[in-house]
């Protein structure tokens, strides 16, 4: 691995080539809002921002009237083609993910793989949008439910998963018959344009309206327009709890639906019986991977007192040799933070942790400052804390792992649950009763509860999302599709009589 960071010209060329290969037109890359790469902190392109979401909403609504009549399996065929295109252009899209979000190549390709996987899932789903039939209490009556397309879905996504989270929503929304208007993070517009270009190509090739996919580039003000637009029937937003606290009530105010994926403050309990080799690997990937910038990132290790020193020592050894650097270079495991504000949060959180009695065991320092003064590389930090003080209860979107200790398992569960967020959690143990307890109603209160695996890196298939301040939304797998459809309950009377339910007599 080299400590050299590529210059602006090299990265711009790579970005432009990848975007154009995916089908983005050159003029879309010559706008007036510069796009900065976290790799060197310098511009790699420039895009234009939309002034309003109205035109996109209008186009999406017009496309909806056509799309909702296309049979779901035929909609699935479009997603199948989209998945094929994603496979063909995986490397290009991966390059853009690395350049805009700062992910290492393997994780960037993994993000695109997650897109391909949700396409596969959605294709199967397109033949399984099942409703139930119920037995009627009345003779000669049939009771059933039918699922229909809902309408335009708005998606607001974050920089850290610039395309996968949109795909979770879009692959399902499209097979469910809904168009999508997408406001990506203003930090990752090129990746968004490239993903949209591939989806539009799949639509075009299969003779369907391209307008079911809309991208609107802009900042929070544009996102707010989407939130408040009465044409948006479901608003799916990924971001901070602070953002969700505004978005949720605003959408509810107009009786829209919202699907919120907000902050996480994920913990792993490490019990005395744990396989420590496995625990160390699971912890390091979850805590330091993606430079600590996943909503599922491991932020708290709750370790039994009897093994805390040993585990801290082993983590410290790994943290000291984690390869930090250019995410596109071979061998790098930790890329840059997204921007200066992430760097400031990291520094501030470490200072506060020390004030609250913590001691930094490893990392935290800025690296490669001379090679890339505008970028923010940090060695992931490992901090031992005396308890779950205020900073440990906050989500700092940076690679800081707080190590806490516990004495009995009930205390570990209590610590896991004693934060406002409820996204992901894990237990490392070989004691089956402990594992089951952690998974039980008395156990972790999170939306994701794992055994002998870290908190991040969920696969497609399971519903993804969390409880409490994480917002309660569920995306991607299982029956998450239901959020994108409206349910009609149908009572059909073929008896020729009119018996009323509940035995009501209304003879006229
Ligand atoms: C996110 O960080 O917003 O489970 C999503 C994971 C990924 C998705 C994370 N599959 O880490």
Interatomic CA distance for residues 188 and 162, integer angstroms: 6
The Å distance, Cα 295 to ligand 1 centre, comes to 6
Q: Are 159 and 185 in contact (CB under 8 A)?
A: yes
The helix or strand, by DSSP H or E, that contains position 383, with its residue range, turns out to be strand 381-384
Query: Cα 207 to the chain's mean position, in Å?
Result: 30
Q: Is the pLDDT of residue 326 over 90?
A: yes
Q: Is 242 exposed, middle or buried (0-12, 13-18, 19+ CB in 10 A)?
A: exposed
The helix or strand, by DSSP H or E, that contains position 273, with its residue range, turns out to be none
Interatomic CA distance for residues 203 and 211, integer angstroms: 9
Interatomic CA distance for residues 34 and 507, integer angstroms: 73
Q: Which ranges of 102-188 does DSSP label H, i.e. alpha helix?
A: 105-125, 164-176
**Is the CB–ligand 1 distance for residue 294 below 6 Å?**
yes
Ligand 1 atom nearest residue 294's Cα:
2
Q: Is the pLDDT of residue 220 over 60?
A: yes
**Is the CB–ligand 1 distance for residue 85 below 6 Å?**
no
Instruction: Supply angle C-alpha 52, 247, 188, rounded to 5.
Output: 55
The Å distance, Cα 333 to ligand 1 centre, comes to 17
**Is the CB–ligand 1 distance for residue 308 below 6 Å?**
no
Interatomic CA distance for residues 189 and 162, integer angstroms: 8
Tell me: the pLDDT tens digits for 45-78?
A: 999 999 999 999 999 999 999 999 999 999 999 9
Which pLDDT score is estimated for 352?
98
Does the model's pTM come out above 0.90? yes
pLDDT-derived band at 3, boundaries 50, 70, 90: low
Ligand 1 atom nearest residue 238's Cα:
3
Dihedral, CA atoms, 490, 494, 497, 502, nearest 10 degrees? -30
Q: Is 503 exposed, middle or buried (0-12, 13-18, 19+ CB in 10 A)?
A: exposed
The Å distance, Cα 161 to ligand 1 centre, comes to 7
The Å distance, Cα 63 to ligand 1 centre, comes to 30
Beta strands 377-378; 366-367: pairing state = antiparallel
Interatomic CA distance for residues 295 and 395, integer angstroms: 9
The distance in angstroms from the start CA to the end CA of the chain is 87
Which pLDDT score is estimated for 268?
99
Q: Which residue has the higher pLDDT, 89 or 26?
A: 89
Share above pLDDT 90 across residues of the chain, in percent, rounded to a whole number: 99
Q: Is 277 exposed, middle or buried (0-12, 13-18, 19+ CB in 10 A)?
A: exposed
Closest CA to 419 of 457, 378, 455, 365: 455
Tell me: the pLDDT tens digits for 127-174?
A: 999 999 999 999 999 999 999 999 999 999 999 999 999 999 999 999
**Is the CB–ligand 1 distance for residue 238 below 6 Å?**
yes
**Is the CB–ligand 1 distance for residue 296 below 6 Å?**
yes
**Is the CB–ligand 1 distance for residue 470 below 6 Å?**
no
pLDDT, averaged across the chain: 97
Ligand 1 atom nearest residue 464's Cα:
4
Q: State the catalytic residues.
A: 261
Q: Are 90 and 116 in contact (CB under 8 A)?
A: yes
Does residue 308 come out as left (phi exceeding 0), alpha (psi in the -120 to 50 range) or beta?
Answer: alpha
Radius of gyration of the chain (CA): 24
Write down the residue that tokens 């901070």 correspond to.
240
Question: 212 by DSSP, 3-state: which?
Answer: helix
Q: For a substitution probing ligand 1, which of 101, 460, 464, 475 has the most ligand atoms within 8 Å of its CB?
A: 464
Share above pLDDT 70 across residues of the chain, in percent, rounded to a whole number: 99
Interatomic CA distance for residues 101 and 254, integer angstroms: 34
Interatomic CA distance for residues 291 and 334, integer angstroms: 5
pLDDT-derived band at 4, boundaries 50, 70, 90: confident
**Is the CB–ligand 1 distance for residue 453 below 6 Å?**
no
Q: For a substitution probing ligand 1, which of 456, 459, 466, 470 has the most ligand atoms within 8 Å of its CB?
A: 456
Interatomic CA distance for residues 344 and 34, integer angstroms: 22
Say which residues have a Cβ less than 8 Å from residue 48's Cβ, sequence separation at least 6. 28, 31, 32, 33, 217
**Is the CB–ligand 1 distance for residue 295 below 6 Å?**
yes
The Å distance, Cα 456 to ligand 1 centre, comes to 6
**Is the CB–ligand 1 distance for residue 160 below 6 Å?**
yes
Question: Which ipTM did the prediction report?
Answer: 0.97
The Å distance, Cα 430 to ligand 1 centre, comes to 26
Beta strands 366-367; 424-428: pairing state = unpaired
Q: Are 481 and 172 in contact (CB under 8 A)?
A: yes
**Is the CB–ligand 1 distance for residue 161 below 6 Å?**
yes
The Å distance, Cα 294 to ligand 1 centre, comes to 6
Q: How far is CA 205 from CA 25, 77, 82, 180, 389, in A?
A: 18, 11, 10, 19, 56
Q: Which ranges of 296-445 does DSSP label H, i.e. alpha helix?
A: 305-321, 340-355, 390-393, 409-417, 432-439
Q: Is the pLDDT of residue 330 over 60?
A: yes
Q: Is the pLDDT of residue 344 over 70?
A: yes
């Amino acid at each position: 691995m080299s400590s050299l960071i590529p210059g602006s010209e090299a990265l711009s060329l790579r970005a432009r080539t990848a975007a154009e290969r995916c089908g983005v037109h050159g003029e879309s890359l010559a706008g007036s809002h510069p796009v900065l790469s976290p790799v060197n902190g310098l511009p790699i392109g420039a895009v234009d921002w939309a002034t309003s979401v109205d035109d996109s909403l209008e186009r999406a609504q017009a496309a909806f009237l056509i799309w909702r009549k296309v049979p779901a399996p035929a909609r699935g065929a479009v997603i199948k083609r989209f998945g094929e295109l994603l496979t063909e252009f995986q490397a290009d899209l991966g390059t853009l993910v690395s350049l805009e979000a700062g992910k290492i190549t393997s994780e960037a390709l993994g993000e695109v793989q997650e897109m391909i996987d949700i396409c596969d899932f959605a294709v199967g789903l397109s033949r399984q949008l099942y409703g139930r039939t119920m037995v009627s209490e009345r003779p000669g009556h049939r009771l059933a439910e039918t699922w229909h397309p809902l309408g335009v879905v708005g998606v607001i996504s974050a920089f850290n998963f610039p395309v996968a989270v949109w795909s979770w929503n879009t692959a399902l929304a499209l097979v469910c018959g809904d168009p999508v208007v997408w406001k990506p993070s203003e930090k990752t517009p090129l990746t968004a344009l490239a993903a949209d270009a591939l989806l539009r190509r799949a639509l075009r090739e299969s003779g369907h309206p391209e307008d079911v996919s809309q991208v609107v580039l802009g900042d929070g003000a544009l996102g707010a327009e989407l939130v408040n637009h009465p044409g948006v029937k479901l608003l799916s937003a990924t971001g901070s709890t602070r953002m969700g606290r505004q978005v949720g009530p605003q959408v509810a105010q107009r009786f829209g639906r919202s699907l919120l994926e907000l902050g996480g403050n994920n913990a792993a309990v490490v019990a005395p019986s744990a396989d420590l080799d496995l625990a160390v690997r699971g912890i390091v990937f979850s805590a330091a991977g993606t430079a600590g910038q996943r909503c599922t990132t491991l932020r708290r290790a709750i370790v039994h007192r009897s093994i805390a020193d040993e585990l801290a020592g082993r983590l410290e050894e790994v943290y000291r040799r984690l390869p930090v650097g250019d995410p596109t270079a071979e061998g790098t495991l930790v890329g840059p933070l997204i921007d200066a504000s992430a760097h400031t949060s990291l520094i501030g959180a470490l200072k506060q942790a020390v004030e609250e009695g913590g001691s930094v065991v490893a990392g935290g320092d800025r690296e490669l400052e001379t090679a890339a003064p505008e970028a923010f590389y940090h060695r992931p930090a490992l901090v031992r804390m005396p308890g779950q003080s205020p900073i440990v209860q906050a989500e700092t979107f940076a690679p800081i792992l707080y190590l806490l200790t516990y004495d009995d398992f009930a205390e570990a569960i209590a610590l896991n649950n004693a934060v406002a967020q409820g996204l992901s959690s894990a237990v490392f143990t070989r004691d089956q009763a402990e594992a089951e307890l952690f998974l039980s109603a008395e156990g972790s209160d999170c939306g994701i509860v794992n055994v002998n695996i870290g908190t991040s890196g969920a696969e497609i298939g399971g519903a993804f999302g969390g409880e409490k301040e994480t917002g309660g939304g569920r995306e991607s797998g299982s029956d998450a599709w239901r959020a994108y459809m409206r349910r009609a309950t149908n009572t059909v009377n073929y008896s020729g009589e009119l018996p009323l339910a509940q035995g009501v007599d209304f003879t006229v």
